[in-house]
Each structure stands twice: as structure tokens, then as C-alpha cells.
Amino acid sequence: TSEDVATPSKTKEILKRHDLVLKKSLGQNFLIDHNILHKIVSAAELGPDKGALEIGPGIGALTQQLAKLAGRVLAIEIDQRLLPILGETLEPYPHATVVHGDVLKLDLPELFRQHFAGVDGVSVVANLPYYITTPIIMKLLEEKLPLENIVVMIQKEVADRMAARPGTKDYGSLSIAVQFHCEAELVTIVPRTVFVPQPNVDSAVIRLRVRKTPPVEVADEAFFFEVVQASFVQRRKTIYNNLAARFFTKETKSELETLLLANNIDPQRRGETLSMEEYARLSSALLARGC
């Protein structure tokens, strides 16, 4: 519609009128392409009963499209200079609220209580600031917010790692952390030309469907992730070497070999070949042994 900001000319006009120089340090690359916005919001499966949480609304390109579909929109923006602009671009959408703050410091469960009471499911939809992609995703997952989908534009390289399957070069602790909490799916690859200014990495949109229950049973989630982390400390080393360095001494090391074999895991394999089921089995066995 006429008030949409996501065109090259409208975005440039707004930035000029407000004398705004974008900050690279805040990951400010704004979307100027309607087709990409459409792909992002469609992947989020919004509706009048749903809520959308946006991280980093910028001048409101995505926020406007979210507000057209969702019953409630909450957008968190760190850059105070953008607040008056958002006031303008979101003027037609009173059910969209902007909160000023750093997403990594805000109390998200409290914001959910304040803004999404009575809403039938909330999804995070955002073109994330790339310098903090992983900390943001990990915060959303670890705080166990009641989320349906997380649909985000991120660096393609990070999207590939999040969605990677065992035995591939991209598979690592991030893949396991994300896939423990979500089903990950690449929605589309995005050219640099849809941003102002253009970022110097390739981008992709990824959808994470948040799981109601984890795909594997683990007795102690923190310990499970500790074992996963330890297994990738030195990527080129075997699972035996990485785990021995973290959980065993010279004297007790031989027990590890027995434990791996008893759990059907060849000690010579590398961490990147183990499935989530194998990590679950392995962490239970290490926990039972008192590691």
C-alpha cells in the first residue's frame, strides 16, 4: 500500500528526511524488497489471533507487513533515533508496539506477559542484526518462551549450520542446540541487493518450528549440551580424544573406550558424525558414570 516503506525510493526518502546515517555497528541493513518481505511473513503462519515479536524493526519495513497479518505486534529496537520514524510508519497500526531496548538485556518473559496475554501463539519474525544472530537465537530458545515459529533472516553461513545434518561439514554444536529445540528448515536464499546498504555476506531466511517436546530424551539438558560442546572442541580429533580431554584422566581414560563401545559408538569417529540420539545415549552413560 501507499504507506509501505520497503521500496528503495521510500526508504531513501525517509533516511534523508530524518538525516539518518545508518550504523554498521548495529547491523543496520534495511529491507527494500516486497517479495522477500512476503516470503518472510508467509513462512511465519500469522493470523488475527496470533502475535509477532520482531527484533530490530529499523524503520518498520517488516513491521508494517506483520501488522497487516497479526493481531498483536511487539517490536524491540535498540536505536533511539529510529523511534520517531517508527511512530510515523506504524501510525496506521495501533496494535503494533515498539519497545526501546537491547533484546539481549530485556526481560522477555515479562514482555510476553505484558503484550501477548490472550494471544493464541506468538512467532518471532525478524531480519536480525547479524553481529548477534547466535546469542539472540540461543536466548529465545533457552528462555523457553512459548513460541510457535522463529522465522529470521540471517547470514547464509549461520543458517546452513543451524539446519545441518550429521556427517556434513556444517554440522556442529549449533546444529544440535537448534535442532534439539526446533525443526529447522531453509525458506529461501536472499541476494544482497534487497538491502540498503548491502551487507558483505550472503543471507538466508530460516524457519525454526519450535518443538513441544525434544526429539530425544535427556536426563540433564545442561550436561547433554556440555558433552556436545566438548565433542567439537577440536573438530578434527576423535570423539574419544575430545571426551577424554574433558571428562577423564590418564588413569581413567580406558573406561571411556569401554563406555563408548558399550553404547555402540566407535571411539575413532569424529563428533561431527554422531546423531542427536547418539549424543543423548552418550550423555546418559557419562552421567551415570558420574562425569
- Counting contacts by CB under 6 A, is residue 154 touching ligand SAM? no
Closer by beta carbon to ligand SAM, 57 or else 271: 57
| Interface pick for ligand SAM out of 14, 73, 77, 175 (rule CB under 6 A) | 77
| Interface pick for ligand SAM out of 36, 43, 52, 62 (rule CB under 6 A) | 62
- Gap between the Cα atoms of 96 and 68, Å rounded: 10
Binding-site members for S-adenosyl-L-methionine are 29, 31, 56, 77, 102, 127
Closest residue by beta carbon to ligand SAM: 56
- Gap between the Cα atoms of 52 and 80, Å rounded: 21
- Counting contacts by CB under 6 A, is residue 65 touching ligand SAM? no
Closer by beta carbon to ligand SAM, 44 or else 76: 76
Which listed range, 100-108, 178-186, 253-261, 262-270, lies at the site for ligand SAM (CB under 6 A)?
Answer: 100-108
Per-residue CA distances from 283 to 138, 159, 168, 249, 288 (Å): 21, 26, 22, 18, 8
| Interface pick for ligand SAM out of 44, 50, 52, 57 (rule CB under 6 A) | 57
- Counting contacts by CB under 6 A, is residue 49 touching ligand SAM? no
- Residues 6+ positions from 130 with CB-CB distance below 8 Å: 27, 29, 154, 155, 199, 201
Show the site string, 182-201: x = touches ligand SAM by CB under 6 A, - = not.
--------------------
CB of 198 to ligand SAM, least distance (A): 12
- Counting contacts by CB under 6 A, is residue 76 touching ligand SAM? yes
With contacts defined by CB under 6 A, how many residues of the chain interact with ligand SAM? 22
Closer by beta carbon to ligand SAM, 41 or else 280: 41
CB of 225 to ligand SAM, least distance (A): 24
Per-residue CA distances from 80 to 30, 56, 57, 85, 179 (Å): 16, 11, 12, 10, 35
Q: Do the bridges between strand 203-210 and strand 147-155 make them parallel or antiparallel, or are there none, so unpaired? A: antiparallel
What does the CA dihedral 3, 100, 96, 138 come to, rounded to 10 degrees?
A: 110
| Interface pick for ligand SAM out of 44, 52, 53, 61 (rule CB under 6 A) | 61
- Counting contacts by CB under 6 A, is residue 129 touching ligand SAM? yes
- Counting contacts by CB under 6 A, is residue 29 touching ligand SAM? yes
| Interface pick for ligand SAM out of 46, 67, 78, 162 (rule CB under 6 A) | 78
- Residues 6+ positions from 257 with CB-CB distance below 8 Å: 240, 267
- Counting contacts by CB under 6 A, is residue 104 touching ligand SAM? yes
End-to-end, the C-alpha distance of the chain in Å comes to 60
- Gap between the Cα atoms of 242 and 235, Å rounded: 9
Assign 235 to helix, strand or coil. coil
Q: Which of 176, 162, 208, 170 is nearest to 279 (CA)?
A: 176
CB of 127 to ligand SAM, least distance (A): 3
Give me the DSSP letters along 170-233: T-SHHHHHHHHHEEEEEEEEE-GGGEESPPSS-EEEEEEEEPSS-SS--S-HHHHHHHHHHHTT
Closer by beta carbon to ligand SAM, 107 or else 266: 107
Q: Which residues bind ligand SAM (CB under 6 A)?
A: 26-31, 55-58, 61-62, 76-79, 102-104, 127, 129, 132
